[in-house]
Amino acid sequence: MTFDPEELKRLEQEKARWEQQTLGSHLERAPERSDPFTTVSGKPISRLYTPLDIPNLNYQEDLGFPGEYPFTRGVQPTMYRGRFWTMRQYSGFGSAEETNRRYRYLLEQGQMGLSVAFHLPTLMGYDSDHPMAAGEVGKCGAAIDSLQDMQVLLRELPLDKVTTSMTITSTAAVAWAMYIAVCEQMGIPYDRIGGTLQNDILKEYIAQKEYIFPLQPSIRLVTDTIVFGSRHFPKWNTISISGYHIREAGATALQELAFTIADGVTYVEEGIRAGLDVDEFAPRLSFFWDIHNDLFEEIAKFRAARRLWARLMRERFKAKSPRSWILRTHSQTAGVSLTAQQPYVNIARVALQALAGVLGGTQSLHTNSMDEAYALPTQEAVTIALRTQQVIAYETGVTNTVDPLAGSYFIEALTNEMEEGALEYLRRIEELGGMVRAIELGFPQQEIANSAYAYQRAVEREEKVIVGVNRFVDEREQRPIPILSIDEALQQRQVERLALLRKSRDKDRWNRAMDALRAAALGNDPWGKDLLMPKILEAVKAYATVGEIIGLLREVWGEYTELNII
């Protein structure tokens, strides 16, 4: 697609003429709106894009064909003509039983993959009877304290036919071990167990703040799961390198892209340092993007990400397998963009964001529910969210062709700019000494805090319009939407369940398992005899609870204290 230089010169002249004459005279009669014409990230967008904005675009080098390096146009040759993205609604609330019922409902409604939300105590390594769990039980996910709860959560679900994503990070190894144990009980062989573990600890220090241990042992735990996965679970994505949380914390699209790719680079380096060949584990690294309001910025981000990663994996890490070069991603519409005011309007926002994700080429998609700003989704709200995906898939026609926006002067210019901007950030992070060092210095955290503050000020000055919030406000609005509420009695039920579990389990087996785990955590052969996953697997089968396993690791490794960066 490299343009003829003579043509470009002529075009430049013609564009200047257009600006002076046609545009110029028009602007005198009808000036443009006073809005700044920036993306939601604050990036300025030009009035018009022409070949002059992408003079050096080379189809083969910069775009290629879908399913081939550099994968700008998509990770498979047929994309959605072969198979739609996996419609995968992130869910979980209250008890394992209630959540199991929601999963079955969603599968009946056409959802294609499962996605587990755990409550905060599980995410933070506390059992439901721990003082820090008070008030939190079942509130933002399912209460899962032990293998017993996991068995109930996954009861009668076709885990041999659908894949399961688990949104859990600091305690991901424990959740994965429980999932594996349940699959074993269901008779599913390891090489048929498919799914994804979020497990991206770096983004916790940067954005989501569900860290537990200090950086080094946390990274060890992530690498441990990657090693274990590469040996036994060919269909399992052991990590979902996430931009979503970074974005939700306030990052711009560019920061989301750059910091996430930088995290990915770190995990690849750690895997190699652990003695793995890059091609042994890179094919099972996966990603997770946010999909925010600016349609084209998001599409460009998705495309730039694939090209960036492919180039990094092939050129920098010398991965030989094409599967190592492919950035596969789940994505979720931006929770932070949804409003408490006039909540039904969120249905429109989510539809547009979901469309951007599809036009961007996502492999898997969660659409938020309209009640996002209030509580976890009601059944009705999540159904509308799922139907939104189905409408896009079946009714809009956007899935008839691969990467429909390729070749758009605007989209290709934006994709180039995203890639360049991200490379600039990657260079800065390298200069700081890599992402781990950057986190210790507070660099990504401060960038995010600055962007979040700048955005809030823009909203409060009405430079950024949010319909229903700072414009088109309805003062008389009643806001009577149904809200999901969590049974407060659940906490007591979990407490009783735990007491019973601790009484009835095999104490010898538990003791042996916990001792073996402690020895491995203290050991100095982390990728050999001291690999932790097998020990954690045995511990969960001995019905050690999340709190007990993580409590042991807290004793051995200590806890992380973050710098307060405002």
| Site residues, other proteins (CB under 8 A) | 120-121, 123-124, 126, 131-136, 139-140, 204, 208-210, 248-250, 336, 338-341, 373-376, 449, 452-453, 456, 460, 466, 468-469, 479, 483, 486, 562, 564-566
Closest CA to 255 of 456, 517, 508, 41: 41
Q: Nearest distance from residue 317's CB to other proteins, in Å? A: 31
Q: Which is nearer to other proteins, 144 or 278 (CB)?
A: 144
Phi, psi of 164 (to 5 degrees): -125, 130
Answer whether the bond into residue 70 is a cis peptide, omega within 30°: yes
Compute the least distance from the CB of residue 119 to other proteins, in Å. 9
* Nearer of residues 209 and 529 to other proteins, judged by Cβ: 209
If the CB atoms of residues 416 and 445 are measured against other proteins, the closer one turns out to be: 445
**Least distance (Å) from other proteins to the CB of residue 297?**
20
Minimum distance of other proteins from residue 306's CB (angstroms): 28
DSSP code at position 409: H
User: Which is closer to other proteins, CB of 390 or CB of 470?
Assistant: 470
Query: What backbone phi and psi angles, to 5 degrees, belong to 82?
Result: -80, -50
Q: Which residues contact 118 (CB under 8 A, 6 or more apart)?
A: 92, 141, 142, 144, 166, 167, 168, 175
- Least separation in angstroms between residue 357's CB and other proteins is 22
Identify the CA nearest to 210 among candidates 132, 145, 323. Answer: 132
Q: Which tokens hold the place of 272?
A: 């190699």
H-run or E-run covering 488:
none
Residue with tokens 């144990």: 181
Instruction: From 114, 109, 101, 105, select the one nearest 195 (Cα to Cα).
Output: 114
User: Could you give the CA distance from residue 178 to residue 12 in angstroms, rounded to a whole number?
Assistant: 62
Of residues 362 and 545, the one with the C-beta less far from other proteins: 545
Q: Where do the DSSP E strands lie in 121-230?
A: 164-167, 195-197
CB of 91 to other proteins, least distance (A): 15
**Nearest distance from residue 118's CB to other proteins, in Å?**
12
Give the shortest CB-506-to-other proteins separation in angstroms: 31
Q: Which is nearer to other proteins, 139 or 301 (CB)?
A: 139
Nearer to other proteins, 107 or 336 (CB): 336
What's the closest the beta carbon of residue 129 comes to other proteins, in angstroms? 14
Based on CB atoms, which residue is closest to other proteins, 100 or 208?
A: 208
Give the pairing type, strands 236-237 and 239-242.
unpaired
Number of H helices, E strands in the chain: 22, 10
Please list, in sequence order, all residues whose beta carbon lies within 8 angstroms of the beta carbon of residue 490, skipping any fewer than 6 positions away.
94, 95, 137, 138, 143
Nearer to other proteins, 208 or 237 (CB): 208
